[in-house]
Structure 1
């Protein structure tokens, strides 16, 4: 495993805490949470880039800015909305369609080989998601919107991640600017569509941790992994994250582990293991 792929794996560890920290900030509207989290993450990243004397690397073309800001803003606004409007455990697992989609999109976009074993792994992961929200599942009114947001953010992040390989010339340091631009865009959208909530100590703590980890350092690690590592391996290793993330949610008192959720998680992880052990 290359150093770049190891770096991408580090991002997966940090993202396992994303759902729990987002639920810790429950009560803060999704767009406001996106703005605050990225303001913290972007400010920390900018400080590191400035200390290294590399602020000039923030000057990038319009395509790079559209790709970076579009991916970061689109995914997280939809993700936080999913957790706000749908049961956290189920929405979080649906969000993890994105590793499955990364594996699938690597073939048409990057020309990488999939093979029958990877496709079988993808099929198992998809079956787990169908079991989670399919026939017989019961959810509160309004959950459908949250689930749609969860699927939407999975699509956005998969496309962003796979196309990052095409943006290899864009330095990782530019992410500091993308994070701050995402904070500004989310802030403007929040003022236009939401009512501002003044966070309490618990919510501010969650925002700070989100900005330092899942909305900060994780992006730099993931950028390195997707641009210079193996996107197929990272996409399949990411199947371990929904289980870790779900267990952290359950430990935090968010949801109950019933047979449907447990079976869905096993299918998702089993598919990931099957795909990750494929040769070539």
Structure 2
């Protein structure tokens, strides 16, 4: 993702692949705008090619777990130098961007155990960050594909770090290591909901899926239509809720009710009525197909 975003905005991006046994390279569905070269850096000739490429580059993106690039003799000290074994680096203007799943320091204030050498996936990073527990779902949190940690907290935060590193280089003339990880990046993206949850504001309920934005609110939710398709309803502001109720009720039988309870615009912030409101909305949306509802609200 990070390389694709940079390529989309004009960067020349080269992906380095290692050929497999039949000579093909790893498929990259995020290859838009990238060139690629198949090289095995574990061979002497392949290592020289990779070294030459990075010596001429502005940015290197390291997507591996800690220690992989060092074992390949392509760690930051090779290019940026250090004060001990290699005082002069091969490319001291290089922005060496490292993107891992867990923090490279082994842990942080919200991690009770070190994770830096562990493999993981988006779902694991969501869980360790604490954000997963805030998601809605019946009986357990449900997760939104692999968008938040992999691409949001990972790839996009990495791009931000690269750009800031390039800005700093324009002043100092020197490159640097940019460390990003998906757990920390996700926590950063989730600053707003995490703080609101900690302060116990009504945006998030005292328990999961009982607040305005965590699946508990009937007028900020998803409903199934008669054809099995879905509609999203998001009318938090009173004037928009009133307009929604007006159009919704006009499109349905006048006697639609739940145990004698009927929906009005005045019910919006009566939380005791939310369970009945949700049932009524579910019942109503299931009476018509999605295209019908599209015409009701957009026609």
TM-score normalised over the length of structure 1:
0.24
Higher relative contact order (CA 8 A, sep 6+): 1
Q: Which has the higher strand share?
A: 2
Q: Which has the higher helix share?
A: 1
TM-score normalised over the length of structure 2:
0.22
